[in-house]
Chains A and B, each alone.
Chain A
């Protein structure tokens, strides 16, 4: 589905490229041994290197390199066996060295591809231009003292991956889905925890608009957007703003902008905040990073099954629709849960239970799948009870609600509450006979050939048995008794 903005001069297409900064999951920083844990007291995770004391030198953390290569492989990207760390020079109080060590001309990862499954069933391929490693800066705090700014260097030197997409994104939904998919891949790989609320992932959003078929027009870059919702909002409002500028005869200026959440608008940063000549040059304290093909191959061999592969397998192994499979593989915990329920059972039924009943209930209770009161094992048992005709579908839903409340084994619940389906045909026959006797008029209608009333009769019998009779058997028996004439 094409997303177009209807302006006064016709339709406008939105062109979006994202630069996602993802914090690498690692115990130590990119060039120092200091810890990276979130939420520590200010300036308690700062080494001499991070504080840029005189004479200190960076030493590359090999684990961060593995994580970057792993991520590159997960993005189906080219791994560059030769990459170079460069210095990006600028002054700021939370940048102790006066430069950020980053990769510029020679990033560790080159072109790749991320495939998006859109809600309308379409899939979209978004190109990855590059991935490079860089140091994070510290944090400036301007609200601690009326006259002073405070600096927390805990983050300074933490390894970030900057993942740059091609300008292939065409709508707010695609932008959101791209980040969701990227986060899913990073979490599967274990290379980034993807916790946007803790700042582990944030994006610079590049937006331009154009008339369909035109070349690209000038873009703006909105910095540091830190949730999927906000990213989608930025695409939308920035595109609208640009359409308005163009249509009023103005000119969109290439600039860096900020997103003001409270006012739901983007506005230009003061030019001083970004007008840097970064004077990039190769960091003479670090040798070029040379990887062997064997190193890359070893990492490739450790890659887990990724969302796309898992999705295909779920579709073929469990007969799921593309959409259901896509939903189930997004989070590893969900996929694992589903698979535990589905294995050896009807996959579609398992998917229905997980995506509608379970997700619905968890949503209602505000729980994630990892703290679901209904374990995958118990949900599987419930499905078994239903497919073995021990309980009906209706009773199964009832049992499920009890499982949510108590976390109990469904077999025990069914036993304890006497919810087993009545399989004794004598008992069913008695109930059917009683129903016919009590409702002679309706019985006569059926005998006269009005089949519709059968359903009503089944309902009567089910009610009389507390839902425990097998509706199929009841139906059969009613037909046998009432079609005799």
Chain B
């Protein structure tokens, strides 16, 4: 019999409603799985007491007929970039040592208000900077997917702990954050669904900032329907975030009609890149066929500025990060390494507190914003960003959604690409353009590599048209029939 923790949110929901399962039982199953799979290092902090207390409250509500909605009693994991009241919040960094927020991020508060159960805080690349979850101060996360070579695979990043936890059946869903692909790429590597909403759909309040104009929270789940259910509970306008969109929420789950007949789906020719494995291209073609079979119209489109997206992203994101991370100075919270002078304290605290990749991006960011370079880099990158957005606007006058690979490869082994930041940055080549344009995107598991590792396909839609995105993703999921699961605990 499959573990309870392996249920989808929809299945668990039905069983909770029928009364043949309690939230406490479900939560205990997840907590047991977390203990069994501690070697994955998916969690930085486990919160079993909070989980069981909230599960108990959920069961009481259910008894009284006061259930809060589709997420009530559903155990989820929270990326440790979300501030959680009274629970250590690290951002995967040494510099936030001992930081326990007195406040709860809007998204996790929304999830809690919807009755969901927090199991713990998941590991991530330090300050969400990375594509393999290898930059965390708390050590790398191992993907639950194993293949015959015996080497541990990365789960992708930066939401690697969340991806691994969902893939390994330690939780029913998890929150991620996506700046340039940090939800979608690990979803692709881990064989799960990862959804980045439109910039402004979810509040950023209370989430440790990496690059403010790009960061966006989103759900990571085992099915498209679950992503729709979970996003419903996470999203909504928040007056505390000035960039949060003051618009209402549609019923995301209702958008899953399983019908894409007449939908126009674009295939951007610029997403064929040098050195991309043949199996990725083949999967992409297969995906297009699946849509054609389902009655969608496939249209070749052009997004001419695609190749400028990644370089521009690696100017904009570090620029914002260099400023956003200035507050970690050892003065008010987190790590402080004393020095003889204030400047010395800053230097020591930040040198010791930040890892190599974070320091690299702060340096890049400070450089591109500095006098004499600002126009050549930052201003230029912003212009590129405008062009990229215009590319998408033009494309969406012809198509309703765009289909691309999520990542240019399957998961690689832990340790690979570690000494080559540029190769690492290429992981996000297909996810960054839509991030730069603020568009919603979703990665759906669509097949296995020759080695037996999961591969995802990405769908992108118009801003605030997550409904079309879910509708198309639901059909892709049905057509792809991706049923492979990582090795169970006994294997």
Contact = CB atoms under 8 A, between A and B. Distances in A.
Nearest to B96: A54
A11 interface: no
Interface in A280-325: 280-281, 284-287
Nearest to A153: B332
27 contacts: A48-B102, A51-B332, A52-B327, A52-B332, A53-B83, A53-B103, A53-B333, A54-B96, A54-B333, A55-B208, A55-B209, A57-B205, A57-B241, A89-B322, A89-B326, A91-B329, A93-B329, A96-B331, A96-B332, A98-B329, A149-B342, A279-B366, A279-B371, A279-B374, A281-B323, A281-B374, A286-B243
B83 A54 contact: yes
A59 B208 contact: no
Contact of A54 (B91, B213, B319): B91
A99 interface: yes
B257 interface: no
B35 interface: no
Given A54-B101, A96-B332, A284-B320, A59 B242 contact: yes
A55 B346 contact: no
Interface residues of B, number: 44
Given A54-B99, A55-B207, A57-B241, A89 B91 contact: no
Given A91-B346, A285-B243, 5 more contacts: A53-B332, A59-B242, A60-B242, A99-B326, A284-B211
B320 A279 contact: no
A281 B319 contact: yes
Interface of A: 48, 51-60, 87, 89, 91-93, 96-99, 149, 151, 277, 279-281, 284-287
DSSP class of A's interface residues: helix, strand, loop or mixed? loop
DSSP class of B's interface residues: helix, strand, loop or mixed? loop
B319 A55 contact: no
B283 interface: no
Contacts of A97: 326-327
Contact of B326 (A55, A98, A277, A286): A98
A59 B205 CA distance: 11
A55 B242 contact: no
Interface of B: 82-83, 89, 91, 96, 99, 101-103, 105, 204-209, 211-213, 239-243, 319-320, 322-323, 325-327, 329, 331-333, 342-343, 346, 366, 369-371, 374, 378
A409 to B, nearest CB: 56
A286 B212 CA distance: 10
A88 to B, nearest CB: 10
A93 B345 CA distance: 11
Contacts of A87: 323
Count chain B CB atoms within 10 A of each CB in A58, A97, A277, A281 and give the residue with the most: A281
B240 A59 contact: yes
Given A87-B323, A279-B323, A281-B323, A58 B378 contact: no
Contacts of A151: 331
Contacts of B102: 48
Given A54-B101, A57-B242, A89 B369 contact: yes
